[in-house]
Amino acid sequence: MKINEFTREEVFNNLVTSPAGLDSDEAKRRLAEFGPNAIRRTHRRPLALRFLEQFTHFLALLLWLAAGLAFLSEYLNPAEGMLTLGLAIIGVIVINAVFTFVQEYRAEKALEALKRMLPFRVTALRNNSELQIPAEEVVPGDVIRLSEGDKVPADIRLIEASGLRVNNSALTGESEPVGRRTDPVPGDPINSTNIAFAGTAVVSGSGTGVAYATGMRSEFGRIAQLTGSVSPGLSPLQKEIARVTRVVAAIAVVMGVVFFAGGHFTGRPFWQNFLFAVGIIVANVPEGLLPTVTLALAMGSQRMAKRNALIRTLTAVETLGSVTVICTDKTGTLTQNRMAVAKLWVDEELVEPSAPVGSETHRLLFTAAGLCNNARFVDGEYRGDPTETALLRASREALGGLDAKRFYEVPFDAERKMMSTMNALQHGTVVLAKGALERVLPLCTSIMDNGRSEPLSAERRDDITHAYHVLMDMGLRVLAFACRPVTGDAAADAAAEDIEHNLVFLGLMGLQDPPRPEVPAAIAKCRQAGVRIVMITGDATRTAVAIARQIGLATERPVAIDGQTFSLLNDRELKQKLGERELLFTRMTPKHKLRVVSMLKQQGEVVAVTGDGVNDAPALKRADIGIAMGLSGTDVAKEAADMVLLDDNFATIVNAMEEGRTVYENIKKFITYIFASNIPEIVPYLAYIIFRIPLPLTIMQILAVDLGTDMLPALALGSERPTPGVMQQPPRKPTDRLITLGLMARAYLFLGPIEALACMFGFFWVLRGGGWDWGRDISSLDPLYLQATTACLTAIIVTQIANVFACRSLRESIFTIGITNNRLVFLGISVEILLQLFIVYHPVGNAIFSTAPLPAGTWLVLAPFAVLLLAAEETRKYLLRRTSPA
Amino acid sequence: MYRKILTAVNEHVNSEVAARYAKHLARITGARLLICSVREPGQPERSFDLAREAAKRIQHRARELDIEAETIFTGGRPLPAISAVVRSEGVDLAVVATRRKDVRRQFNARSLRSRSVLLRLPCAVALVHVVHLGRTHPSEILVPLKEHIKDIPSRAFFTAMTAKAFGAKVHLFHVMRPLRTFFQGEVHLRPLEEEGKLAPDLSRFINHLDGYHVEHERHLAPGVAGKSITIEAASRRRDLIIMGASERGIIDFLLRGNPMEYVLRETPCNLIILKTRD
């Protein structure tokens, strides 16, 4: 037995309390045992420790190692500027750590939003007297008084209620206030009508109840706990970067060891070999990769913001591109949330709502729609729940404003799925009822046909059910209406069962929530992109299926699972169902979403889920991409989400996915670009050790490329526009790699060697031109040597300029995609050239990077290598297009 | 298997709630229920009165259920006093409530009353951590199981009897350490592959449970044990968690923490930690 199933006496016995409340000593004892009634953070490692963790992940450790080696080299060979290198690497580690930490810290704000939803003070009964106590001091067993406008401080089992209605929207997302009762109710407490939940608000009436769960043990606390505990895990991009880091580390270390051993066997001194190994490792580590990826994601998020998708966690930008399943709400996201009455079934006919009101039945139908309704028409505006305002509008348009005294109301609640009112009409008092057909029809004993009340035969019931199905198949949300003339006194405190009986069936109204016009195209785009869409709605199955057909979500025979069936499915059965191509979840509540998302993730899917209520927060956090509604969403949902839709529109998700896929493509482009420059950084070291020549490129010069000149052009590649086919290919598989053999071969075996050729040519061109002969030692301070290394560096810059254009596409010719349509590329190249001019010609640049000014002729000698690289790349692309058409 | 079940009651409501679990276990196993209350030196009269009233209430309700119940009032320091009763009466199982102040401190690392009870009482001990007064009659019980389970018959018996006493369904939950490789990182296992990795002890536990005809379901999840257990309990609204009282060595504890510690602090529902004496 659960708390909702107990009688009043059992409630007191079970909670060891009494109608007089707890005494203050017992309350103190319970406060000490159960803790304050507050939302708190789940136990986590201290903030400082989590910040420190940002310095100990694999890439950070790799960079620490590189910095340590640089400092060691500085100690062994002070003139090489290794100290600056070491400090620069540490700078990269710190910037990345701070950035990642800030992102993680921001994600925790969802809990702060939850905390704001609990009240500050409440009225409790202690020692049989009413006291105002801080909400934090409420303990299990406290007797709490509730009245209109109060926020409920804890989960409370009601023992007295007078017209008590609460708004559970903070918890369930349902905006309609629901009535509360006190009698025992079987089933799960969450669906029980005799419980008021923490964080919800009393809309009307008053009541008294006993608190049985406080703080983190309340339903609200459960959501807070899940919101604070569940983590989406690493994003696909983070996983890939981690993997790339390990691959690069392995390559760097293996190369370092191999060449250390090579140097040893060719008779070089130990420390020279050691420095050489350090150089190889530092040249291999892509120091600029993380900052460039981060900036590219930031730029992607800006582009998405322009398309109404506000990104809250940067990695979400790329994760969007790899989404394989979108779990989406219907109302407001796929549809416009603008309810309107679209069809009526009255006097056994389907009619338009604008048709003239002919019969008494027709008139009573609109009367019931207008009076059994809590929406209001105030100052020329309809206010209230979208369904109710639609009914009120239809009624006003048909009959004009209605004014009839209401004696009584049996409020709507999700379990009963109906409401009733008792009103004084011209010809007497009448009970008016509306609700789901399966609730209203069993309460009817007759039907009104052209103003005459006739017995409701089985045949007529079949006709009504048939009409109900017809309307639902049109994608309409269908409500049934009934009435009953009241004979005798109108009992003001009548219970539902006292007035909801012997009803006369009036007819049906079908309400339409039109699909958003952009949605069918967006869904078609998702289909082309291989992304499955799972609709999760509170609507009935037939309505949901019909809407799904209208918007192109269902083309075959979709599998629809309603909330009740869903609860009965075990994990294995649910996993099987989740594999269906066209899947709808109907009559669902937000609480079911977390399970759907978790199961999909367990099946290896990359899941995006939409949500707006507090109860959606755990699912939003659990999903790879949590998407909150900007217009209708609660603060808690927005704080828990990775992305906020500023227009609540499904099409915006698809646009954001397109951007996400583009970002991933672009990251591949600039990784190729960055990796290509590793070869001209490594080859000079190889030549230095193997051929015993002066070192053609210093480590500081390598750093000038990795963290300086390469950065902006790489970023420019990160802002390339979507290619036409980006949404016509399936989502990236989890097994697809950011760095593939093809990418490595292109960067390391094709583009890189051309650049290496250029830089070695530049180095020897200057040395030979200055009179250097093969085998002769040259001082590292000799102006000729400084000029030669500068030429080597300049050759890398010149060929990297051509490489930017080469990397703008994998297959298409630069002349096809357009040379000038990415202006950022030109900005990046301009900055790159300016930086290089500073390094080559400014005394400060010369001092930092051990460079010397070059004559203009040297630049001209190097320029043909840029042309060579572009021409070679165009030839490769041409051959690729010929041999492997897209 | 249980002939005598002892439950310790004091002035705190959680001890009375813990006693309800003992009462129902006694009912289903036909054991005699000993309701023990210890008056500590210097304990105020009012405080002991509350304990006495609680003991009477439990005895009264036990008799309503036809359980043979007896109250024992004794004096001294609680642990030695209860130990003495356990020895003299030949108690098989002691059901004792934890205190919040114990849980807030490092349960594993310090010498606390609750831990002492687990370790020193000469019988099986069910340490009950009461956090939710609305779920004292569980219908969904979460039973986290490790790869290697000690005292499988005793644990299965306790789990089965608790489930039977309340007509509850048992959800066996095994948290698997995620499979990682150096280059691939975390490797995702398909459900069938997960099933293939099911430890033999789990199968043995399930066989024992089947012997008692208790409805049960199995769940597997990759992740960190403590956190995964609390998430599972919170997300699926479980009413009770029954865990084994396995302890980790100090080095293991410092390196990996203790899932039991985490669950004790963060459990969203009542928790029973069972220490068997096989």
Give the pLDDT of residue A60: 79
**What does the pLDDT look like over A296-347, one tens digit per residue?**
777 788 888 888 888 877 778 878 888 999 999 888 788 887 889 999 999 9
More confident residue, A319 or B138: B138
Q: Where are the domains of chain A?
A: 3-41+113-229, 305-336+516-656, 340-512, 677-719+734-883
More confident residue, B37 or A71: B37
Name the residue among B190, B231, B265 with its Cβ closest to that of A230: B231
Q: Is A33 close to B100, i.e. CB distance below 8 A?
A: yes
Confidence of residue A287 (pLDDT cuts 50, 70, 90): low
**Burial letters for A627-647: b for 16+ Cβ neighbours within 10 Å, e otherwise?**
bbbbebbbbbbbbbbbbbbee
For chain B, list residues whose CB is within 8 angstroms of any CB belonging to chain A.
11-14, 16, 46, 54, 99-101, 130-137, 139, 182-186, 188, 190-191, 217, 219, 221, 227, 230-231, 234-237, 262, 265-266, 268-269
In CATH terms, the fold of domain A3-41+113-229 is 2.70.150
Domain A340-512 sits in which CATH superfamily? Calcium-transporting ATPase, cytoplasmic domain N (3.40.1110.10)
More confident residue, B272 or A685: B272
Nearest residue to A672 (alpha-carbon basis) of A732, A714, A720: A714
Note the CATH number of domain B1-130. Answer: 3.40.50.620
Q: Mutation test of the interface with chain B: which of A17, A24, A41, A42, choosing the one with the most B Cβ atoms within 10 A?
A: A42
Q: Yes or no: say if A199 and A138 are a contact pair by the CB < 8 Å rule.
A: no
Size of interface A-B (CB pairs under 8 A): 105
**What does the pLDDT look like over A56-77, one tens digit per residue?**
877 778 778 878 877 887 787 7
Q: For the residues A128-137, what does the mean pLDDT come to? A: 90
What tokens does A624 get?
């790879």
Residue-averaged pLDDT of chain A: 85
Q: Is A243 close to B183, i.e. CB distance below 8 A?
A: yes
**What does the pLDDT look like over A474-483, one tens digit per residue?**
888 899 999 9
| Residue A146 predicted with pLDDT over 70 | yes
Q: Yes or no: say if A540 and A586 are a contact pair by the CB < 8 Å rule.
A: yes
Confidence of residue B6 (pLDDT cuts 50, 70, 90): very high
The answer to whether A329 is a known catalytic residue is yes
Burial class (CB in 10 A: 0-12, 13-18, 19+), B234: buried
Select the CATH number that applies to the domain covering A305-336+516-656 from these four: 3.40.50.2000, 3.40.50.1000, 3.40.50.1470, 3.20.20.120. 3.40.50.1000
**What does the pLDDT look like over B245-267, one tens digit per residue?**
866 655 665 566 678 888 888 89
Residues on chain B touching A225 (C-beta within 8 angstroms)? 230, 234, 266, 268
Q: Which of A100-109, A778-787, A851-860 has the lowest average pLDDT?
A: A100-109
Q: Which amino acid is at A712?
A: L
Q: Mutation test of the interface with chain B: which of A16, A44, A234, A568, choosing the one with the most B Cβ atoms within 10 A?
A: A16
What ipTM does the predicted assembly reach? 0.88
Question: Of the spans A316-330, A446-460, B185-199, which averages the highest pLDDT?
Answer: A446-460
Percent of chain B surpassing pLDDT 90: 50
Q: How far is residue B182's CA from residue A299's CA, in Å, rounded to a whole number?
A: 31
**What does the pLDDT look like over A672-695, one tens digit per residue?**
998 898 899 889 888 887 888 888
Q: Is B133 close to A141, i.e. CB distance below 8 A?
A: yes
Name the residue among B183, B191, B265 with its Cβ closest to that of A43: B265
Q: Is A225 close to B183, i.e. CB distance below 8 A?
A: no
Residue A229 Cα, gap to closest chain B Cα (Å): 7
* Domain B1-130 identical in fold to domain B131-278: yes
Q: Is B183 close to A247, i.e. CB distance below 8 A?
A: yes
Give the pLDDT of residue A176: 64
| Residue B192 predicted with pLDDT over 60 | no
Q: Is A575 close to B191, i.e. CB distance below 8 A?
A: yes
Give the pLDDT of residue B195: 61
**What does the pLDDT look like over B10-27, one tens digit per residue?**
999 999 999 999 999 999
* Secondary structure of A317-368 as H, E, C letters: HHHHHCCCEEEEECCCCCECCCCEEEEEEECCEEECCCCCCCCHHHHHHHHH
Nearest residue to B158 (alpha-carbon basis) of B15, B29, B27: B29
Nearest residue to A368 (alpha-carbon basis) of A460, A448, A442, A452: A448
| Residue A492 predicted with pLDDT over 60 | no
Confidence of residue B109 (pLDDT cuts 50, 70, 90): very low
| Residue B242 predicted with pLDDT over 90 | yes
Question: Angle between the B13-29 and A24-34 helix axes, to the nearest 10 degrees?
Answer: 70
Place of tokens 């051993």: A261
Q: Where are the domains of chain B?
A: 1-130, 131-278
**Cα A299 vs. chain centroid, distance in angstroms?**
18
Q: Is B235 close to A212, i.e. CB distance below 8 A?
A: no
Q: How far is residue A531's CA from residue A525's CA, in Å, rounded to a whole number?
A: 9
Nearest CA in chain A to B192: A572
Percent of chain B surpassing pLDDT 70: 81
Residues on chain B touching A25 (C-beta within 8 angstroms)? 46
Q: Is A222 close to B184, i.e. CB distance below 8 A?
A: no
What tokens does A535 get?
């609709």
Residue of A142, A150, A155, A329 marked active site: A329
For chain B, how many helices (H) and strands (E)?
11, 12
Give the pLDDT of residue B251: 64
Distances in Å between the Cα of B89 and the Cα atoms of A52, A717, B3, B6, B24 are 55, 80, 10, 9, 20
Give the pLDDT of residue A118: 67
Question: N- to C-terminal Cα distance for chain A?
Answer: 64
| Residue A835 predicted with pLDDT over 70 | yes
Place of tokens 């006194």: A489
To the question of pTM greater than 0.95 for the whole model, the response is no
| Residue A210 predicted with pLDDT over 80 | yes
**What does the pLDDT look like over A21-65, one tens digit per residue?**
999 999 999 999 899 998 877 666 677 887 888 788 777 787 788
Residue B55 Cα, gap to closest chain A Cα (Å): 13
| Residue A143 predicted with pLDDT over 50 | yes
Going by their DSSP bridges, the two strands A625-629 and A643-645 should be labelled as: parallel
The top-level CATH class assigned to A677-719+734-883 is mainly alpha
Residues on chain B touching A572 (C-beta within 8 angstroms)? 191
| Residue A493 predicted with pLDDT over 50 | no
Confidence of residue A638 (pLDDT cuts 50, 70, 90): confident
**What does the pLDDT look like over A247-260, one tens digit per residue?**
777 887 888 888 78
| Residue A357 predicted with pLDDT over 80 | yes
Residues on chain A touching B130 (C-beta within 8 angstroms)? 33
In CATH terms, the fold of domain B131-278 is Rossmann fold (3.40.50)
In angstroms, what is the C-alpha Rg of chain B? 19
Name the residue among B134, B217, B236 with its Cβ closest to that of A213: B134
Percent of chain A surpassing pLDDT 70: 91
Give the pLDDT of residue A729: 85
Nearest CA in chain A to B17: A14
Q: Yes or no: say if A656 and A304 are a contact pair by the CB < 8 Å rule.
A: yes
Question: Of the spans A162-166, A506-510, B181-185, which averages the highest pLDDT?
Answer: A506-510
